[in-house]
Chains A and B, each alone.
Chain A
Amino acid sequence: MIVAGGIVIFLFITSPISAYFGRKNIGVLMGKLRRETFGKVLDLPYAYHKSRHSGDTISRLTNDLTEVENFLKEGFLNFANLLILGTAAILYMFVLDYRLAVVFVIFTGIIFKLNRGSARKMKIISDEVQKRQSTFTQNLTDVFQGFQVMKSYNLEARLKGKMEEVNQGVYEKAYERSRQQAKLRILSNLAFTSSFLFIVLFGILFMYLGWMTIGVVVAFTNLQGAINSVLNFLPQFNQSLQSARAALDRVFELRDEEKEPPVINPPYEGEKFPGYLAFRDVTFTYDKGKGEPVLKDFSFSVDEGKSVALVGESGGGKSTIIKLILGLYPVDRGEIVVGNRSSSKDEIAEIRRNVSYVSQNPYLFTGTVAENISYGRENATEEEIRDAAVKANAHKFIMELDQGYDTVIGERGLGLSGGQKQRISIARAIVKDSPILLLDEATSALDTESESLIKDSLREMMKGKTSITIAHRLSTIEDSDEIFVMKEGKLIERGSHDDLLVRDGYYKMLYETQFTKNDVDVKERVI
């Protein structure tokens, strides 16, 4: 009796402590799920992100994981609690009177069956709700990313209409889910009320037969009340469970995608990486098995320390070459050699560590200026960061910012001009100090003053390095050691600027077209 009393008191006291630890466990588990899923998103290949809307991935990381968290915090916690209560109550009923307990269990079984039958339907509806929520997030992402375009084209009303349509879709499905939930609740209430009546009726009958006392009947109705709370909770639990399952399916679908080998970022030390680069019979198609190859049996090589420019019409495969060097897509056939490494999957990380990339649209992360430059090399010192900024012609304007290198840059470099952002991104590439540079239209989106400053920065950065530059404006690449002229995925001419002009081929035609156009532009401006 004393032991039993002790257990009761112990459980009574530990109950709130258990609730605390239960919630803590959920927090830890959700932290782990979020961390792992986000890590997986970063490890996924570039091709994955290019083939899917970013909003869908964001929705999986936010809406879907929140759905799982809500289930654990509200559904699972209460269910675990009530399940034990319900089981204990049923067992106690059997201890008190097995005949009445059997009657009760039969009715409970019917209610449970009803709930199970509709669970499948609930999962289908929940799946659809999650998908529609994902579409909503996709549209929302579009609005934020294209805010400037939206404003400039007066698209507010049109996009509002579109969002309204998508939102209506979410609402309709969510409403259907609530309807289904209400149906389940009504069914379980009805079933439960009838089971209560049966207990009372059978209890009176058994009392009349002398099988039980009034106390047992009262205890039965009290226990039935406890089980009532379990059964009433079942539809809500089912709905929450099915939503969480649908959400988990989508999260695991993302986590099942094949990832790239891990990119380890050890200190930049060790043997000197050779600045040699070669494409050997490379064939590449973006949409494997469907589209035409962008590059077919494509070969070229660049010796250490040389500067090569890629020119040609849009869609000729210039940017594809840069993407393939960076290992953003796997090639269909052939081999890409960078330094002493091959483009085979295991060596992508090593290649990327030795290649600096400056794009047309520099991307700055939310954080300080110094932090953004140090993304080039994790262990860069303050002095190295400053030196890189000086070489990139960025030091002066950085010092004019409120907090210099400690100024926090907003989302996508908000508050900085295009030229300033580009100079920070060049400083990032300089601090990386890699033997190979890839410049994709690095100056094309800039005004003349910024372009001139950036050209100086680039010249400084390219000293003694192997570089591949993509440029539309041929005047910017005249000094390159070699110019590759590309057309429809093929290398049709190569040589120095002077050689190519003498040859009177496609390059000369491109050059003259640009020259004439520039001439006309200048005349128009004068007029």
Chain B
Amino acid sequence: MKEQILRIFDGKRGKVFLFIIPFIFLGLGNAIVNLTLATLLMRVFDFAAVGEFSEKFTQQ
């Protein structure tokens, strides 16, 4: 497998790296969006579950 990939890129690892750079950025962008969403959800639920908001919510 590794051999096949290297053959496609004339045995040059640098070329493999250059090829995958856009995919890395694409993946990072997507990951950042998802992790930000997860963090927001965590904060919202924690905020809702404990503290002033929770008490007011329970009283109502």
Contacts and interface: CB of A to CB of B under 8 A. Distances in A.
To the question of whether A and B form a pair in one complex, the answer is: yes
Interface of A: 7-8, 11-12, 14-15, 17-22, 24-25, 29, 33, 76-77, 80-85, 87-89, 92, 96, 213-216, 218-219, 222-223, 226, 245, 248-249, 252
20 contacts: A11-B32, A12-B32, A14-B29, A15-B26, A18-B26, A25-B19, A80-B27, A81-B26, A81-B30, A83-B27, A84-B31, A85-B27, A88-B32, A215-B45, A215-B46, A215-B49, A218-B42, A219-B42, A223-B38, A245-B4
Q: Report, nearest first, the 5 A-B pairs whose CB atoms are least far apart.
A: A84-B27, A15-B29, A215-B46, A80-B23, A88-B31
Interface string B37-59: 11101111111011000000000
Contact of A222 (B1, B21, B29, B41): B41
Interface residues of B, number: 35
Contact of B45 (A20, A80, A214): A214
Contact of B37 (A80, A214, A222, A245): A222
A7 B36 CA distance: 12
A12 B44 CA distance: 22
Nearest to B50: A213
Contacts of A223: 34-35, 38
A89 B35 contact: yes
Given A85-B34, A216-B46, A245-B1, 5 more contacts: A18-B26, A29-B8, A77-B23, A88-B32, A248-B4
B39 A219 contact: yes
Nearest to A20: B22
A321 B46 CA distance: 89
Given A19-B22, A22-B23, A84 B30 contact: yes
B22 A21 contact: yes
Given A80-B23, A214-B49, A222-B41, A252 B7 contact: yes
B25 A88 contact: no
B28 to A, nearest CB: 5
Contacts of A92: 35, 38
A266 to B, nearest CB: 27
A383 to B, nearest CB: 44
A289 B19 CA distance: 46
Given A22-B26, A77-B23, A252-B4, A12 B33 contact: yes
Nearest to A84: B27
Nearest to A22: B22
A89 B31 contact: yes
A20 B22 CA distance: 8
Contact of A29 (B19, B26, B45): B19
Contact of B46 (A7, A14, A214, A249): A214
Contacts of A76: 23
A245 B41 CA distance: 41
A213 B47 CA distance: 10
Interface in B1-27: 1, 4, 7-8, 18-27
Given A12-B33, A213-B46, A18 B38 contact: no
Given A8-B36, A215-B44, A218-B41, A18 B29 contact: yes
A88 B35 contact: yes
B28 A11 contact: yes
Contacts of B32: 7-8, 11-12, 88
Contact of A19 (B8, B26, B34, B50): B26
Contact of A85 (B1, B31, B39): B31
A21 B46 CA distance: 40
B42 A226 contact: no
Contacts of B34: 85, 88-89, 222-223, 226
Given A12-B33, A80-B27, A25 B22 contact: yes
Contacts of B47: 215
Nearest to B27: A84
B4 to A, nearest CB: 5
B44 to A, nearest CB: 7
A226 B36 CA distance: 12
A192 B35 CA distance: 20
Contacts of A80: 20, 23-24, 26-27
B28 A84 contact: yes
Contact of A215 (B25, B31, B35, B43): B43
A12 B31 CA distance: 10
Contacts of A82: 27
Contacts of B46: 213-216
Contacts of B28: 11, 84, 88
Nearest to A249: B4
A244 to B, nearest CB: 9
A21 B22 CA distance: 6
A89 B43 CA distance: 17
Nearest to B47: A215
A218 B46 CA distance: 9
A215 B42 contact: yes
A214 B22 CA distance: 36
A47 B41 CA distance: 68
A15 B49 CA distance: 35
Most central of B4, B18, B23 by chain A CB within 10 Å: B23
Nearest to A76: B23
Contact of B42 (A17, A33, A87, A216): A216
A479 to B, nearest CB: 56
